[in-house]
Amino acid sequence: MSINYKHFTLGVEEEYMVLDPQSRELKSHEQRIVLEGQKIIKDKVKAEMHQAVVEVGTDICADIEEAYKDVATLRGTISAIAGDLGLWVGASGTHPFSHWENQLITDHVRYSEIVNELQEAARSNLIFGLHVHVGMEDRRMAMHIANTARYFLPHVYALSTNSPFWEGRLTGYKSFRTKVFDKFPRTGIPEYFENIEAYEGYVNLLIKTNCIDNAKKIWWDLRVHPFFNTVEFRICDVPLTIKETITIAALFQAICAKIYKLRSQNLNFMMYHRSVINENKWRASRYGIDGTLIDFGKETEVNTRALIYELLDFVDDVVDDLGSRHVLANIPGIFETGTGADRQLAVYQQTGSLVSVVDYIHDQFLAH
């Protein structure tokens, strides 16, 4: 049976930290990077809640090659603009030692509302993520794929872990970013929704009861996007390098395509409760690729790397049609060199200096 994978387009959003080259602290850029960036890349660069953050987003990309070129261009453009302004940029889920109390909030009505409602939880939310959108043929299929893909979130998250430090402390986690974000409401692994109508009913209930004003205030690790026909994966730390970002994007795309293929053949993957998937998310956050995850089918602990290899086997029959085999071939290299967190920790162990860790984060920003 021939399956058309053309609708599995990709959109990649990354959040970058703006750095002072002297102190290596986070630095407010007063939106200068955004204003200069918009002259070149239009609305592909945006302000974020904290003024030391720059958010970028690719165009809708037909395949992984387009996404790779777009992410590389965006990183190169933002790095050059920052350099011209006497600033640095870097990509890490948290800054190794800057304190959020010293950072300015962007003057924008949406951010003012969030800070007014969430208070300290919002002001302290100085973290940097990667969001990957995978295009869907319709919202009904998007809901089915989102329900099923929840199971694989911890596997991919483990690969992305890149935030071992927080406010000058070694946290003991490979990804502390999600621990910071957990203070927000409506975060984490989503529930299973029986169908798109059930999901939209939930959203409408929250709007009707003034919990939220729109569905963008649902900040789950994975969501059917409120306005676009995409499944949006939000669990990952922003990776150090372009290559890691593209590898993770390709893996999310392949998971979606595989679930779609199973559905087209009247097959399905087991659905698991949020509480069970959360056990694996916690393990991925704490240990990255060096721990174990639970194989809930076999009801046993399995080496995380082995489970990720099993995931690669699971998606193997769709990657050639997606044109992403060469990108997913990067994963053994990540196992060899470690995730961003592992490499940050190695620099710290070698130097004893968090300034050296920031230098490393900056140096890796344009690495392919």
pLDDT above 90 covers what percent of the chain? Answer: 85
Per-residue pLDDT for 2 more than 70?
A: no
4 lies in a domain?
A: no
- Which pLDDT value is given to residue 115? 78
Average pLDDT over residues 334-362: 98
Is residue 368's pLDDT more than 90?
no
| CATH number of residue 223's parent domain | 3.30.590.20
Q: How many domains does the chain have?
A: 1
Q: Which residue range(s) make up the domain with 26?
A: 10-364
Three state DSSP letters for the chain: CCCCCCCCCEEEEEEEEEECCCCCCECCCCCHHHHHHHHHHHHHEEECCECCEEEEECCCECCHHHHHHHHHHHHHHHHHHHHHCCCEEECCCCCCCCCHHHCCECCCHHHHHHHHHHCHHHHCCCCCEEEEEEECCCHHHHHHHHHHHHHHHHHHHHHHCCECEECCEECCCCECHHHHHCCCCCEECCCCCCCHHHHHHHHHHHHHCCCCCCHHHCEECEEECCCCCEEEECCCECCCCHHHHHHHHHHHHHHHHHHHHHHHCCCCCCCCCHHHHHHHHHHHHHHHHHCEEEECCCCEEEEHHHHHHHHHHHHHHHHHHHCCHHHHCCHHHHHHHCCHHHHHHHHHHHHCCHHHHHHHHHHHCCCC
Tell whether the model's pLDDT for residue 106 goes beyond 80.
no
Examine the pLDDT at 101 and tell me if it is beyond 80. no
pLDDT in tens, 261-305: 999 999 989 899 999 999 999 999 999 999 999 999 899 999 999
2 found inside a domain: no
pTM of the prediction? 0.97
